[in-house]
């Protein structure tokens, strides 16, 4: 009995009582409150850090997916722009000064050649066809060629409708 009283006063488990893990854990926690509190805080900090890490990983994965989709979309939009640029460079290359056949090429002649090439070369590219037809139509308008402007506007509209249908 004296030994159990000493153990009780020291915060240790008494022997006269049935031994269990919960009883021993309570006694240990009361004896070592500071260490148990520190271990609890550390455990909570680790759980919080793990939760934040998992959340950040999910957000990073989502951001990577969005970035990949944006990259793919930009690449898809870049191809028609490059095709338009190549078409226009090829069109104006016909007016280079080394060409011996004629002295000057008028803007109207270049636009007419471009309009003809649209029909021959761009049937399989409705988006490119619509962009170039729209640009040539605007140029015709600036030259006062309103019938040609109307024809190009119609081609641009048809190209846009075809693209939307695909």
pLDDT attached to residue 105: 72
pLDDT attached to residue 52: 95
pLDDT attached to residue 97: 60
pLDDT attached to residue 50: 95
* Cα angle 55-59-63, degrees, rounded to a multiple of 5: 170
How many CA within 13 A on the CB side of residue 124? 1
Q: Say if CB 118 and CB 136 are below 8 A apart.
A: yes
Query: Who's near 141: CB < 8 A, 6+ residues apart?
Result: 149
pLDDT attached to residue 98: 61
pLDDT lower than 50: segments of the chain: none
* Residue 139 phi, psi (nearest 5): -65, -40
pLDDT attached to residue 163: 66
Measured between alpha carbons, how far is 17 from 130 in angstroms, rounded to an integer?
A: 92
pLDDT attached to residue 61: 92
pLDDT attached to residue 43: 96
């Amino acid at each position: 009995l004296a030994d159990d009283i000493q153990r009780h006063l020291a915060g240790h488990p008494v022997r006269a009582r049935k031994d269990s893990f919960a009883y021993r854990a309570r006694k240990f926690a009361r004896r070592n409150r500071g260490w148990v509190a520190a271990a609890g805080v550390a455990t909570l900090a680790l759980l919080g850090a793990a939760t934040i890490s998992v959340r950040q990983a999910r957000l990073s994965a989502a951001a990577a997916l969005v970035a990949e989709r944006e990259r793919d979309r930009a690449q898809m939009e870049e191809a028609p722009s490059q095709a338009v640029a190549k078409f226009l460079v090829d069109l104006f290359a016909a007016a280079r000064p080394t060409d011996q056949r004629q002295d000057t090429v008028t803007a109207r002649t270049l636009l007419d050649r471009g309009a003809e090439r649209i029909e021959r070369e761009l049937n399989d590219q409705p988006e490119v066809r619509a962009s170039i037809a729209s640009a040539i139509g605007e140029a015709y308008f600036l030259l006062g060629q309103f019938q040609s402007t109307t024809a190009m506007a119609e081609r641009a509209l048809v190209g846009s409708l075809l693209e939307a249908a695909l």
